[in-house]
Amino acid sequence: EICQADGIQSDEEALWLVARQGDGSMRDSQSLLDQVITFSDGQVTRDKTIEVLGLTDRTLLLETVQALVDRNTGSVVDIIERVFTAGYDPKIFVQDLLEELRHLLLVKITNGQVGSIVDLPDSEVAHLHKLSETLSEEDIHMLFDMALKGGNDLLRAQDTRVVLEMILLRMSSAPRVAQLLNLNLGQATAATPIRPAPVSRPTPTRERAEAPSDTRSAEPPAAQEPAGAAPIQGPTGTSNDRWIDLIKKIKRVNPMVSAKLEHSCLLGIEGKVIRLAVPDKMKFLSGQIEDKEFQKKLLNYVGTFWGPGYQVEVGSGGQETEKKTPKAIEKQRQEDQVRSTREEVEKHPFVQSAQKVFKSQIKAIKETT
């Protein structure tokens, strides 16, 4: 209406650009429109609006998205030249590209029925909808992530042209997600899974021989046996395993006691005597573990889980005992598990193919549920 009142011809796309830059403010939009009119010589066009307001050419932006979708590196090289010839700021250009990829994803998700979700003219929505038909949502997500990382790199770049070139060329040469999934499919199918199921081991002969006894024990108890009178099962397995298992059980009922035991080293279990050593680094715990009240609690737990009659002897140990405490053993076990998982991931054909295609390396491995 302002243009008509002033007798000025205007393009719909030019007015849309002005309104978009006004960001919902009528006053700002009118100020920008006046600015464009001043330099437009009686006709407000899209090109003149872009020039006056210093905006990224929407046509160039759409051509960039088209080239990335088509994986056309030749077009990308031409676009880069046009970006710098026109004097666009690479950082602003990448931000505009991120926004356009966001629009592309929303158009894809809504099947073109974006409504008021995106502020775009109908012609551009239709164009993006046509582009999105050749892509999966994952493909668009990947392009967005690559552009986002590139935008962060631009903030630290001394030569923004070189970085922008690498960003767009990397995006235009990236494989589709479907191609990645099918890459070396034969190898991936035959390869060992990243997290293989544990291999079942044959039951020892002695245990098989005792099976009938277990079967009989499953029968209802005789009437003269009171309920809950089952004998306490003594510890089984290696001494260290038995001790660590005991500490875990104690931790469920008394974390303070278990915390002190986790930093002690088991020297051995001889009959009913449990021999412990406290590393020099933790020697302050010796007095606490030898304390009568602590011993009373500890022997009570030992009697509950292992049976009565045990004694505990506490001595001092050298530096070598630090590596044998339950805490150190658990830490080493976790480190070994992480290292083993990383080796399995790195050797997986799919991961190796992705690294080769993207020329990347593994920074971290996180378990997801």
- Domains in the chain with CATH codes: 2-53 (1.10.8.60), 72-179 (1.20.272.10), 183-190+235-369 (3.30.300.180)
For the sheet with 273-279, list strands across it: 265-270, 273-279, 311-317
- Per-residue model confidence (pLDDT) at position 339: 87
**Could you give the dihedral angle defined by the CA atoms of residues 125, 128, 129 and 130, in that order, rounded to the nearest 10 degrees?**
130
Residue bearing the bigger pLDDT, 280 or 235: 280
- Per-residue model confidence (pLDDT) at position 87: 81
Q: What is the helix (H) or strand (E) element at residue 34, kind and residue range?
A: helix 26-38
Q: Where are the beta strands (DSSP E) in the chain?
A: 9-10, 43-44, 265-270, 273-279, 311-317
Q: What is the pLDDT of residues 1-20, one digit of tens each?
A: 667 666 666 666 677 667 76
- Per-residue model confidence (pLDDT) at position 98: 94
Do 110 and 117 form a contact (C-beta atoms < 8 A)? yes
- Per-residue model confidence (pLDDT) at position 51: 65
* Rounded CA separation 279/317 (Å): 5
User: CB-based contacts of 282: which residues, under 8 Å, 6+ apart?
Assistant: 263, 264, 322
| Residues 253-266 as b or e (16 or more Cβ within 10 Å = b) | eeeebbebbbbbbb
Top mean-pLDDT range of 264-273, 316-325, 358-367:
264-273
Which of the four pLDDT bands, split at 50, 70 and 90, describes residue 105?
Answer: very high
- The count of other CB atoms within 10 Å of the CB of residue 295 is 14
DSSP-assigned letter for residue 123: H
Q: What is the pLDDT of residues 341-365, one digit of tens each?
A: 888 888 888 788 777 776 777 887 7
Do 276 and 267 form a contact (C-beta atoms < 8 A)? yes
- 160-173 and 58-70 are packed helices; what angle lies between their axes, rounded to 10 degrees? 50
* Rounded CA separation 220/41 (Å): 103
Task: Fill in the amino acid letter for 245.
Answer: D
**pLDDT reading at 108 higher than 50:** yes
Mean pLDDT for 47-72 is 80
